[in-house]
Amino acid sequence: MNCSAVRVRISGQVQGVGFRPFVYNLACRLGLRGEVANSPAGVELVIEGDESGLTRFQQLLWDELPPMALIEQLNSEPVPLSYFDSFKILPSAKGEVSITATPDAAVCPDCLAELFNPSDRRYLYPFINCTNCGPRYSLIKALPYDRTNTTMSAFDLCTACLSEYNDPADRRFHAQPNACPDCGPGLSFTDEKGHFVKTGELHDESLIAAATLIRAGKIVAVKGVGGFHLICDARNADAVVRLRQQKQRPDKPFALLGLNTESLNTVVQLDDNRRQRLQAQDAPVLLCPWQKETSLDTENRDLIASGLNWCGVMLPHSPLHFLLLHQLCGRPEASDWLESEQQPLLVMTSANRSGNPLITDNQQALIELRGIADGFLLHNRDIHIRCDDSVVNGLSDSMPIVRRGRGLAPQVIQLPQSGPSVLATGAFFKNTICVTKGDKAYVSQYIGDLDNPDCCHSLSEMVNHLIQLLDVVPQQVVCDQHPDFFSSLFARQFAERHDLPLQSVQHHHAHIAAVMAEHQLSGAVLGLALDGLGLGDCDQLWGGELLRVDGRGTERTGRLSSLLLPGGDKAAAEPWRVAAGMLYQSGQSDEIDKRFHYAGVATVKQMLNQHINCPQTSSAGRLFDGVAALLGLCSINSYEAQAAMQLESAALSYVEQYGWPECEPLLSAGVATDVAADSSTIDSADMTLTELNLATLLTTLSEIEDPLYGAALFHRQFIDGLGCWVFDTVQASGINRVVLAGGCFLNQLLLRGLTEQLELNGIEVFSAGKIPCNDGGISLGQAQVALQLSLPANRQNSNY
């Protein structure tokens, strides 16, 4: 038999995911010999045997990957025979760390089967895991990913667990969180007064106490993988109302937890794609359309997601959640209960006070959630890194990410170029940070809005953690162009402290660059950035921009015409103010009093008449707000983007029932003629502009009795107008690649409609998928711009 040998180098998510034992068992199965070891770049192996076996081996490497493994690159080369007598797993090679921790993963089917097997030694054990599932990123303190560098270092492995840990043939070989009832973490339960309930051998007392409170309509704080959740019975309207009152969250949607897709299908519409996405290892919250007839009554549906025709749903991702549902289902013994429809539906929301970061610490939970939770289901496995639930938009076939969190962070973004390490500090809202290393970007999980001191502290902590975890020394720092954001102030201080160059990137340029980074685009593109607000040139408030972006910078080629914001920032919270400004601009000031009856109406009219505190903006987000208010859908935002979401929901409802209304485009291309009160905001004479015909819009909306029809009509007109504008610009510029970015493209009607229209005209369209299109992706875009510019170390504080 002719034998040969190859050396295989593999990079990607291949450490801490059972990849070496997978290689070991595959080689042994095929009768091959050699050795495998972790390396600074991933995994390296030398393998020898007959040609057919080696070919089969490399094919099965791709076909039979462990669930958590991800191969990004595989290179093989022939080497001389070493005449190995067996296949071995070698200790990890020493050297620079160039990989990151793997994300947390939902409990796998094998562990779930053991969890409910009375003969298994981990029967009903809430912390069961293996190399294919369980906590990872939330536990890790440093790399390399060894137990001593995780919060599991507090628990010494028992003889049985240690034997599994050391056996290459075992599913728990080098599973760092490996544990069992004899050696691992345990549950406890505390009532609202801080009194502990005794924990039994199988944690029954704690689970029973939590389930009893939920059945009674109470609220329980449950410590999960990345932080605490507040949980109550979604079928109990009084419980949901009380949760909203206690958390001071009057309207913002809640997520629902069901045991399986059969249970969730009674409330939301689940096709095969949505079912598959829900059951993925990241186990996200998935936005899905409501069923026309749900197992929830109308009152409960409205309490959970008021004004929306979709709802966020999720499946249990930790053994503890399964055990809690097991209790609520009456502790069924039949083996098929996990697959059959079950009655319990739970509201799951992040355990924090409004605006604060997610709580991860037991003592902090007992203090800060007092008065909200009636009981606390705790455990003593520390969470080192908080991770909110990831959110994915299931209203779109492409299922883009809305919020990156547990199960998705950290996920590497392969960049179109390599360069010096960059620290990017992100935006003000939905903050994330990004650290680059070579040609890879590591975007953090969602941190929060930086109007909260605790979120600002979390940003600082995350910078230190990610830099240490990746063993990176940043060589440049980049931030938003707005000088007063905390993220910008932090970047400035960090750069000064470490004597690093600092640059700032315009907000909408960063939006476009983030999508370019995700799709590894280089060269020139046209970017349409639609969002709420971002600081533009000359201190203008941008939000509806058409930009030409390439590796060296950006040029603003067009924008939406200006809207007035009476009261400035207050208009974002009160969309009726935007609508009042629209009425004023179209010469219909008398309509303001007739349409709106708020205490500040007279003051707003005076501000408009005297041009006091009425900044102008090209924001598409504020346009959506104003239209929602004019249609009577939402005049006051109790959470960010409420008006825009309800406008989209109304349009969706109409389109699903009647199809798109026929209409003329609302926008038309022209030359910028509107002049702001402040001469610094006058547009250049040759800038193309989409003229928003406010008079026509308002006249049309005033004649509409059905707000659903009005919402659909506005969407159709807006999409058609944008399509004409972008197409004209493509023809004029000769650039056929268009990037759609910014928070407005969370609106799937807008994204899908505009994408289809442009693609029908032969235009290549790119949008965000792996990273959020909103400000959660800004840090990636900032880093991408900094890398493309490749500034020398002595050039600092530049704006692009």
- What integer is the mean pLDDT of 408-436? 93
67, 75 Cβ separation under 8 angstroms: no
- What integer is the mean pLDDT of 680-691? 37
Helix axes 601-610, 575-585, angle to 10 degrees: 40
Predicted pLDDT at 203:
65
pLDDT in tens, 344-359: 999 999 998 777 899 9
Higher pLDDT, 731 or 665: 731
Q: Which helix (H) or strand (E) holds 402?
A: strand 401-403
Concatenated DSSP letters for 488-555?
HHHHHHHHHHHT--EEEE-HHHHHHHHHHHHTT--S-EEEEEEEEEEE-GGG-EEEEEEEEEETTEEE
Q: Do both 707 and 649 map to the same domain? A: yes
Residue where a domain terminates, one of 32, 66, 89: 89
Q: How confident is the model at residue 683 (pLDDT cuts 50, 70, 90)?
A: very low
Rg from Cα positions in the chain: 28
Calpha distance 779→800 (Å, rounded):
15
Predicted pLDDT at 669:
45
Predicted pLDDT at 667:
55
- What integer is the mean pLDDT of 128-145? 91
Calpha distance 133→713 (Å, rounded):
47
Tokens of 321: 């959640």
Tokens of 706: 């059905």
Predicted pLDDT at 363:
94
DSSP β-bridge partners for residue 527: 547, 739
Instruction: Give the Cα-Cα-Cα angle 754, 759, 762 (nearest 5 degrees).
Output: 140
Provide the pairing of β-strand 391-393 with 411-419. unpaired
Concatenated DSSP letters for 626-652?
HHHHHTTS-SS-SSTTHHHHHHHHHHH
Q: Is 693 annotated in the active site?
A: no
Q: Do both 551 and 514 map to the same domain? A: no
Predicted pLDDT at 693:
60
Q: Which residue range forms the structural domain that includes residue 518?
A: 410-522+779-799
3-state helix, strand, coil in the chain (%, to 5): 35, 25, 40
- What integer is the mean pLDDT of 629-640? 94
Half-sphere exposure of 424 (CA within 13 A, CB side): 35
Q: How far apart are the first and last CA of the chain?
A: 64
Tokens of 361: 């610490």
Judged against a pLDDT cut of 90, whether residue 699 lies above it is answered with: no
Give phi and psi for 655, each to the nearest 5: -60, -40
- Tell me if 234 is assigned to some domain: yes
776, 403 Cβ separation under 8 angstroms: yes
Calpha distance 68→15 (Å, rounded):
10
Judged against a pLDDT cut of 50, whether residue 676 lies above it is answered with: no
Judged against a pLDDT cut of 70, whether residue 675 lies above it is answered with: no
Judged against a pLDDT cut of 90, whether residue 303 lies above it is answered with: yes
- What integer is the mean pLDDT of 557-582? 93
Q: How confident is the model at residue 742 (pLDDT cuts 50, 70, 90)?
A: very high
Place of tokens 């997978």: 22
666 alpha carbon, distance to own chain's centre: 32
Q: How confident is the model at residue 200 (pLDDT cuts 50, 70, 90)?
A: low
Q: What is the CATH number of the domain that holds 254?
A: 3.90.870.10
- Tell me if 115 is assigned to some domain: no
Single-letter code of the amino acid located at 639: Y
Q: What is the CATH number of the domain that holds 701?
A: 3.30.420.40
- What integer is the mean pLDDT of 528-540? 92
Residue where a domain terminates, one of 57, 89, 121: 89
Q: Do both 784 and 651 map to the same domain? A: no
Q: Do both 495 and 629 map to the same domain? A: no
Calpha distance 115→123 (Å, rounded):
5
Q: Do both 499 and 427 map to the same domain? A: yes
Q: Do both 532 and 518 map to the same domain? A: no
User: Helices (DSSP H) in 152-192: which residue ranges?
Assistant: 159-166
Judged against a pLDDT cut of 80, whether residue 99 lies above it is answered with: no
Q: Do both 664 and 544 map to the same domain? A: yes
Reading phi first (left if > 0) and then psi (alpha if -120 to 50, else beta), residue 728 is in: alpha
Predicted pLDDT at 165:
94
Provide the pairing of β-strand 310-314 with 285-289. antiparallel
Give phi and psi for 568, each to the nearest 5: 65, -120
- What integer is the mean pLDDT of 250-272? 96
Q: How confident is the model at residue 748 (pLDDT cuts 50, 70, 90)?
A: very high
Q: Is 38 annotated in the active site?
A: yes
Q: Do both 9 and 51 map to the same domain? A: yes
701, 709 Cβ separation under 8 angstroms: no
Q: Do both 194 and 338 map to the same domain? A: yes
Predicted pLDDT at 680:
27
Q: Do both 197 and 305 map to the same domain? A: yes
- What integer is the mean pLDDT of 548-573? 90
Options 20, 122, 172, 244, the catalytic residue: 20
pTM confidence score = 0.92
Length in residues, the chain: 800
- Tell me if 402 is assigned to some domain: no
- Tell me if 400 is assigned to some domain: no
Concatenated DSSP letters for 727-746?
HHHHHHH---EEEEESGGGG
Is the peptide bond prior to 21 cis by the omega test (within 30 degrees of 0)? no
Predicted pLDDT at 355:
77
Judged against a pLDDT cut of 50, whether residue 111 lies above it is answered with: yes
Q: Do both 583 and 502 map to the same domain? A: no
Environment class of 80 (CB within 10 Å of its CB; exposed 0-12, middle 13-18, buried 19+): exposed
Q: What is the CATH number of the domain that holds 437?
A: 3.30.420.360
Q: Average pLDDT of the chain?
A: 90
- Tell me if 8 is assigned to some domain: yes
Q: Which helix (H) or strand (E) holds 43?
A: strand 42-50
Contacts of 386 (CB under 8 A, 6+ apart): 138, 226, 227, 357, 358, 360, 445, 458
Q: What is the CATH number of the domain that holds 63?
A: 3.30.70.100
Q: How confident is the model at residue 506 (pLDDT cuts 50, 70, 90)?
A: very high
What strands lie across the sheet with 391-393, from one edge to the other? 196-197, 187-191, 375-379, 220-223, 228-233, 345-350, 255-258, 310-314, 285-289, 391-393, 401-403
- Tell me if 233 is assigned to some domain: yes
Options 33, 38, 300, 556, the catalytic residue: 38
Calpha distance 585→592 (Å, rounded):
11
- Tell me if 94 is assigned to some domain: no
Judged against a pLDDT cut of 90, whether residue 503 lies above it is answered with: yes
Single-letter code of the amino acid located at 475: Q
Judged against a pLDDT cut of 50, whether residue 672 lies above it is answered with: no
Q: Do both 542 and 589 map to the same domain? A: yes
765, 733 Cβ separation under 8 angstroms: no
Contacts of 519 (CB under 8 A, 6+ apart): 766
Predicted pLDDT at 791:
40
Predicted pLDDT at 647:
97
Please tell me whether residue 669 adopts helix, strand or coil conformation: strand
Single-letter code of the amino acid located at 315: L
Environment class of 361 (CB within 10 Å of its CB; exposed 0-12, middle 13-18, buried 19+): middle
Half-sphere exposure of 88 (CA within 13 A, CB side): 6
- What integer is the mean pLDDT of 746-769? 96
- Tell me if 366 is assigned to some domain: yes
Residue where a domain terminates, one of 40, 65, 89: 89
Contacts of 63 (CB under 8 A, 6+ apart): none
Helix axes 707-733, 748-760, angle to 10 degrees: 40
**How many domains, in total, are found in the chain?**
4
Contacts of 665 (CB under 8 A, 6+ apart): 717, 720, 721, 723, 724
Is the peptide bond prior to 319 cis by the omega test (within 30 degrees of 0)? no
Task: Lowest mean pLDDT of 16-30, 265-279, 470-484, 614-628, name the range.
Answer: 16-30
Residue 494: count other Cβ atoms within 10 Å of its Cβ: 18
Share above pLDDT 70 across residues of the chain, in percent, rounded to a whole number: 92
Tokens of 347: 């509201």
